[in-house]
Amino acid sequence: MNSRRDFLQKIGVSALMLQLGSVAFADTPNHFEQPYDGKVLRVAIMGLGGYGTRVAEAMKACTKAKLVGVISGTPSKIKEWQTKYNIPEKNCYNYENFDQVKNNKDIDAIYVITPNALHHSQVIRVAKAGKHAICEKPMALNAIEAQEMIDACKKANVKLLIGYRMHFEPHTLEVIRMRKAGEFGKIMFFQAQCGFKAGDPNQWRLNKALAGGGAMMDIGIYAINGARYMVGEEPIWVTAQETKTDSLKFKEGVDETIQFQLGFPSGAVASCLSSYNINYLDRFFMSGNNGFAEMQPSTGYGPIKGRTHKGELMQAITTHQTVQMDEMATIIFDDNKPIVPVNGEEGLKDLKIIEAIYLAAKIEKKVNLNI
């Protein structure tokens, strides 16, 4: 198993065809039932690896977004994608010349799906080319880079969106709705377990220069982001403890396992686990005075499953990236405001918390947050 994406793909592969077949029943009314004759977001994908391929396949079912271009450093991949997705030669670029996309009126947005360390420079180049930027998470290596990306997109008057697919997932949104409606009462506790055994020791996700860390940057961000949107507050302190059992595979600066705790203004607390050395971790649990919510799987590619004190969650099974890209089209074109934000500021908050977690683990003390 080489990465989180490999792990999620394996647990979700049997459900992908089910998702593609049942996405018409998504919780967004008439999402795929009525013909759409509005503006279509024309997207180029940068980075044609495993997740880029998953996004491309999911976009086949989109009604408001369309894959029209590719950017890659591998010529053979470009040729393959051209044939597979009917992409014209004029919409194909490499990492050296993609700035020329500024002269291409047939591309509206570029989805950056490359190693973490490349996001900063690539998104800034996308902004300077006058294109909207969609960036995979984590959006950068640190908060300073993230802020520079936000500033660059604002200066260029383009949108910057982060690939938070769970922010559009129906089961997730139902739990958020219930929490907002007070159906759980006062939220007291949240727990997130996110992890798997990382495979190839030479993969870029175990290279600090490319990944910016280890499990926390890759899978732990789901726990951080989930704690924020489930509890509905921003944390004000963090404590953390790191465990490393294999210092050859997980070198200096590449975390293997981190347990961390978050405190919220209301008094709610979160207990979270991020690991590259423990399999089958994909669970959220939240407890309030009047009820609870449990999701397992909670962030995998699907199908997401959950239950509350009222019974099993019966929301639609969707292909996350299909809904994500259609919803992002409405954000870009119509300035639609999603229930949970997916803008650059959202990504910046997660990075500030990640930095505080790393610091807390290092100094073995509570770190106060102001995000």
Handedness of CA 224, 225, 228, 234 (dihedral sign): positive
Residue 231, Cα to own-chain centre: how many angstroms?
18
Asked if residue 186 and residue 121 are part of one domain, the reply reads no
Domain boundary among 134, 164, 194: 164
Asked if residue 205 and residue 131 are part of one domain, the reply reads no
pLDDT of residue 302: 80
Phi, psi torsion values for 75, nearest 5 degrees: -55, -35
Asked if residue 152 and residue 73 are part of one domain, the reply reads yes
Residue 72 belongs to domain spanning: 4-164
| Inside any domain, residue 337 | no
Domain boundary among 164, 191, 210: 164
Asked if residue 88 and residue 229 are part of one domain, the reply reads no
Among candidate residues 64, 131, 137, 159, the one labeled active-site is: 137
Asked if residue 108 and residue 172 are part of one domain, the reply reads no
Unique residue bearing structure tokens 């294999």: 246
pLDDT of residue 314: 97
One DSSP character per residue, 102-169 reads GG-TT--EEEE-S-HHHHHHHHHHHHHTT-EEEEPSS-SSSHHHHHHHHHHHHHTT--EEE--GGGG-
Q: Are 237 and 367 in contact (CB under 8 A)?
A: yes
Q: Tell me the pTM.
A: 0.91
pLDDT of residue 8: 52
Q: What is the DSSP letter of 252?
A: T
**Residues of the chain under the 70 pLDDT cut:** 1-34
Q: Are 336 and 206 in contact (CB under 8 A)?
A: no
pLDDT of residue 252: 97
Residue 326, Cα to own-chain centre: how many angstroms?
15
How far lies 328's CA from each of 10, 19, 53, 133, 135, in Å? 26, 19, 18, 11, 12
Q: Is 137 a catalytic residue?
A: yes
Among candidate residues 51, 93, 222, 276, the one labeled active-site is: 222
Q: Is 105 a catalytic residue?
A: no
How far lies 167's CA from each of 104, 172, 296, 325, in Å? 31, 7, 16, 12
Asked if residue 359 and residue 216 are part of one domain, the reply reads yes
pLDDT tens per residue across span 186-244: 999 999 999 999 999 999 999 999 999 999 999 999 999 999 999 999 999 999 999 99
Residues 6+ apart with CB under 8 A from 60: none
Domain boundary among 164, 183, 200: 164
| Inside any domain, residue 333 | no
Name the burial class of residue 271, with classes exposed (0-12), middle (13-18) and buried (19+) by CB atoms within 10 angstroms of its CB. Answer: middle
CATH number of the domain where residue 45 is located? 3.40.50.720
Hey, which bits of the chain come out as E strands?
41-46, 65-71, 92-93, 109-112, 132-135, 160-162, 187-197, 237-243, 257-263, 269-275, 277-288, 292-295, 306-308, 311-312, 367-368
pLDDT of residue 6: 54
Asked if residue 175 and residue 38 are part of one domain, the reply reads no
The half-sphere exposure of 363 on its side-chain side, counting CA atoms within 13 A, is 11
As a whole number of angstroms, the distance between CA 113 and CA 336 comes to 23
Provide the b/e sequence for 111-129 (b: ≥16 CB within 10 Å): bbbbbbbbbbbbbbbbbeb
Angle CA 91–106–42, to nearest 5: 95
pLDDT of residue 34: 67
Residue 258, Cα to own-chain centre: how many angstroms?
19
How many structural domains comprise the chain? Answer: 2
As a whole number of angstroms, the distance between CA 331 and CA 154 comes to 15
CA torsion, points 220, 224, 165, 7, in degrees to nearest 10?
20
Asked if residue 193 and residue 68 are part of one domain, the reply reads no
Residue 200, Cα to own-chain centre: how many angstroms?
22
